[in-house]
Amino acid sequence: MQWHNSPARYGLVSILLHWGVALTVFGLFGLGLWMVGLDYYSSWYRSAPALHKAIGLCLFAAMLLRLVWRFLSPPPPLLDSYGPLTRLGARLGHGLLYLGLFAVIISGYLISTADGRGIEVFGLFEVPALVSGLPNQEDVAGLVHEYLAWGLVSLSVLHALAALKHHFIDRDVTLKRMLGCSR
């Protein structure tokens, strides 16, 4: 399999970034839902949020890499069979997914750094608190983070359903290209 994208399909780097980000988003969403229900006496009370934050920051790095890769190896063009609304939906959907990912990560960062402390990443290094002490920073960012996370997961499900529609109903190669199959 090729590393770079081609006009016919996505390359290995894009495929790994796409599916890695997707799995990470759903994993973080599940972890987030689970950890907010933990009580003070749970053995995961401190570990789960630390894990959530560290993975979230790794996701941020992966998303930056994904943006850079998108410029170095542009994705295959949209299929000729797409109508104007499908083209608009594809561009709008992908743009909202990227924007939503960065927004949910930034809001998570603002929750975590509201008290002025940085975020430990698996005990390897610390990301400093660059923004802290804003009025109600933790509460506002927490609310934004929660709604954005639900929105992002909902949009991701729509994205997956659209890919399945292209595969099973339209019978085009949209999904196959992201699985590394050629036309």
All domains of the chain, ordered by start, with CATH?
12-178 (1.20.950)
Residue type at 128 in one-letter notation: P
Q: What is the mean pLDDT of residues 132-152?
A: 97
Q: What is the mean pLDDT of residues 124-142?
A: 96
54 Cβ neighbours under 8 A, 6+ residues apart: 119, 120, 121, 122
Average pLDDT over the chain, rounded to an integer? 96
Distance in angstroms (rounded) separating the CA atoms of residues 135 and 167: 48
User: What confidence tier does 1 reach under pLDDT thresholds 50, 70, 90?
Assistant: confident
- Contact criterion met (CB below 8 Å) for 135 and 40: no
